[in-house]
Structure 1
Amino acid sequence: MKLQFSLKYFILTVFIFLTEVLIATKLNNIFFVRAYLGDVIVVMLLYTFVKSFVKINDNKLILGILIFSFMVEFAQYFHVAEKLGFRPGSLMYIVIGNSFSWIDNLCYATGCLILYIFVRTTNNDGVTPIP
């Protein structure tokens, strides 16, 4: 792991973030997009964000993002946002979330699988994936 800024990944991060905002604000009446596609895409947002600032093995990063996503989802099961005193509607309450769903975990895993397949087939940044 090495600190290294990547404009390519930073631009992708901004684009994916704006896509997530669009999904949350303008496409929220399309159930499939809001409920599932947003969760698939959010792991890609995390991936590009980390790759914007750190040169790291892709497989380790994808696995770390999957584990992190699962941990956040399970924190929702235990209502961690409420227990930490965050009020409904506050930024941290929204970031942590408030409702556990097994389907969300499936969406995160799907997003990570798509990332893994993409990285394995393109290997476009010179970081050799672990076989």
Structure 2
Amino acid sequence: MKLTFNFKNLIIAAIIFVIEFLIATTFKDIVFVRSYLGDVLVVMLMYYFVKAFVEVENTKLIIALVIFSCVIEFLQYFHFAEVIGFKDNKIAMIVLGNSFSWIDILCYLAGGLILYLIEVLAKSKSR
């Protein structure tokens, strides 16, 4: 792993961030988009943000981010954000979440799988 800067990945992360922001605000009442698509995209957002600043093996990063997302989700089962004193902090509650869902775990896995397929396709095209 080495530090680097990749403008393309930063732009992709920024675009996904804007989409996530729109999901949380404008499209918050569309259940499928808010409940599922946002969770699929959050893994992709983290991936491209990390890849913008660090050169790391793609598969390892995808696995690490899916595991990280699942850990955060499992912490929601124990109301971790409230336990550490963030109950009244809206931003922290949005970022850390407040309700556990197995479907969210599946969405994180789907996001990781989509990323993996994107990287496999990109690698096969470059050959």
Aligned position for 2:65: 65
Q: Give the superposition deviation at 1:89.
A: 4.4
Q: Give the superposition deviation at 1:57.
A: 0.1
TM-score by length of 1: 0.91
Aligned partners of 2:78, 2:14: CA distance in 1, in Å?
31
Aligned partners of 2:60, 2:110: CA distance in 1, in Å?
16
Indicate conservation of the 8 Å contact 1:88/1:94, yes or no: no
Q: Which amino acid aligns with 1:116?
A: Y
Aligned partners of 2:68, 2:96: CA distance in 1, in Å?
12
TM-score by length of 2: 0.94
Structure with the higher fraction of residues in helix conformation:
2
Aligned partners of 2:3, 2:49: CA distance in 1, in Å?
13
Alignment of 1:97-108 (within 5 A): 97-108=97-108
Aligned position for 1:93: 93
Structure 1 runs (4+) deviating above 2 angstroms are 87-90
Segments of structure 2 that go 5 or more residues without pairing to the other structure are none
Aligned position for 2:111: 111
Aligned alpha-carbon RMSD (Å):
1.3
Aligned position for 2:8: 8
Stretch of structure 1 that moved more, 88-97 or 6-15: 88-97
Aligned pairs, number: 125
Aligned partners of 1:74, 1:96: CA distance in 2, in Å?
10
